[in-house]
Structure 1
């Protein structure tokens, strides 16, 4: 197999795995979260204060700033209390997106489901 063929095979498997994770997260979350929304909760949880400036999220999520704004707005509109927004003290134009206790609980549950899915799906890597 050439390196190009290996690359295409790896890419195909990654797309398939992302679809499996998307399905797992949607099925396991009461809010029917997407994979990108799961990533958002994950990155918020990894931050020291469980919050990040909204302007810092596009790079982490590999999305445009407007896509991140729409994602946060969708989560707020779902009224699922997974995150909250607060103004930045230094710059009133900026806002922080914060993971709530409910968000931490939901994320912990979803991480377990995702770990189980990955455990059974990543055998092609080794």
Structure 2
């Protein structure tokens, strides 16, 4: 009896993980086309946008996005490079050792274009019927926009 329940939980979890992975792949492909971001780059810009000053310490971004310190550092370096220009680093006035990553105007523009893409892909996923009923109901709830 216990193993049947465990198998059911595992089966449900794997189905959910597969649905999430498929949607992530579609998001990645759509964002790469326009505005030329990876999904993790989009997440970095999204989490920066939630901060009043549009800047966070690298460690805070790492926690939000779920990348290792080295992976986050490489990602931020790519996003700061002139080819992308979405981020810039600032030294903290209070703690000279502290470094903040801040979104630029270019980053804000990429984020806005990316949000429209993400919204479209997620809406297509919800309306296509590919999600289990419970997940479709959860995703269809009206999200509350964070205070600006």
TM above 0.5, one fold?
yes
Residue 67 (structure 1) aligned to one of 54, 71, 74:
71
Q: How many residues align structurally?
A: 124
Distance in 2 (alpha carbons) for counterparts of 1:37 and 1:104: 12
1:2 aligned counterpart, secondary structure: helix
1:52 aligned partner:
56
Distance in 2 (alpha carbons) for counterparts of 1:60 and 1:85: 18
Q: Aligned-pair distance for 1:78?
A: 4.8
Counterpart contact for 1:88–1:96, Cα < 8 Å: yes
State which structure, 1 or 2, has the greater radius of gyration over its C-alpha atoms. Answer: 2
The alignment's TM-score, normalised by the length of structure 2, stands at 0.78
Q: Which runs of 4+ in 1 moved over 4 A?
A: none
2:33 aligned partner:
27
| Residue 17 (str. 1) matches residue 14 (str. 2) | no
Residue by residue over 1:21-72, the C-alpha shift from the partner in whole angstroms, topping out at 9 and shown as x without a partner, is: 000100111xx31100000000001111111111211111101111111101
The alignment's TM-score, normalised by the length of structure 1, stands at 0.91
2:105 aligned partner:
101
Q: Aligned-pair distance for 1:100?
A: 1.1
2:145 aligned partner:
none
1:39 aligned partner:
43
2:14 aligned partner:
8
Counterpart contact for 2:78–2:84, Cα < 8 Å: no
| Residue 83 (str. 1) matches residue 87 (str. 2) | yes
Give unmatched runs, 5+ long, in structure 1. Answer: none
